[in-house]
Amino acid sequence: MQIAGMNAIVTGGAGGIGQALAKALLARGAKGVLITDRPGPALDAAALATGCPAFACDVAKEAEVKAMIAHAQSLLGPIDLMCSNAGVLDVDAEPNNAASAANEAWERSWAVNVMAHVYAARALIPGMQARGRGTFLHTVSAAGLLSQIGSGPYATSKHAAIGFAEHLAITHRDDGIRVSMLCPQAVDTAMIRVRGEEADHPARADGVLSPDEVARIALDGIEEERFLILPHPKVADYMANKARDYARWVGGMAKMRRSY
């Protein structure tokens, strides 16, 4: 599969991985790219920086996602690639209580980290089925494959996002629709700074990648039609360890938690 000639949408496009994806898509010859994020100066600045049209959208609301996709189609034509990249991270209110995050944090995490993917797919699948092609890139996280120390809402919603990506890929493979999951560890974005990860935080153990590096790896994965894209290759080893001895893996994660 080639990026060249594609029309794409990138959510969470006001910065970080989203903005880097938009730039990388254009560099690889994408025909048109629309970026979307919550309204504000960051989205306006990203539109100027990337040269992409922008559309303000709260991806937690299905009506806004539908309106955004309709706008993108009217502007660009049929959408070939949907990059559902927006995400939120809410930490546990009490580090020693796994259920301490407020209901609002759980609801926000579910809406943005899971349902936004569902809303986009719901709007785009019929057209992709009719054309016999289309691609979804879901930015998830290594936390969805492993876990996230200190954030029940993030770890849980990212696991659910992987479940939906699997279901999407299985159900629509014979329609010519492809799905890729992008699951990095630490990336140098606002999210990693907001959650206060110190230099010795476990999430940084395998290095902090730049958004541009992650975008390049993501597009390589799309062109190779890989379902699982791991910017940090070591995650594959952690997944194997988890599958090999689940109880031992849980014990290792608990030990890691005690280290910070």
Amino acid in the structure at residue 5: G
Read off the DSSP letter of residue 60: T
CA distance 79 to 69: 8
Phi, psi of 209 (to 5 degrees): -90, 155
The yes-or-no answer on residue 154 being catalytic is yes
How many contiguous H segments (helices) and E segments (strands) does the chain have? Answer: 11, 7
Residue 237: Cβ within 10 Å count: 10
Dihedral angle over CA of 8, 14, 15, 16, nearest 10: -50
* Cβ proximity of 218 and 232 under 8 Å: no
C-alpha span between 242 and 148 (Å, rounded): 14
Other CB atoms within 10 Å distance of the CB of residue 2:
10
What tokens does 260 get? Answer: 């910070």
Distance CA 8, CA 77 (A): 10
> How far is the C-alpha of 151 from the C-alpha of 95, rounded, in Å?
8
The active-site residue, picked from 119, 154, 238, 246, is 154
Burial of 104 (0-12, 13-18, 19+ CB in 10 A): exposed
Residues 245-253: contacts with CB within 8 Å, 24+ apart?
253/146, 253/147, 253/149
Q: Could you list the active site residues? A: 154
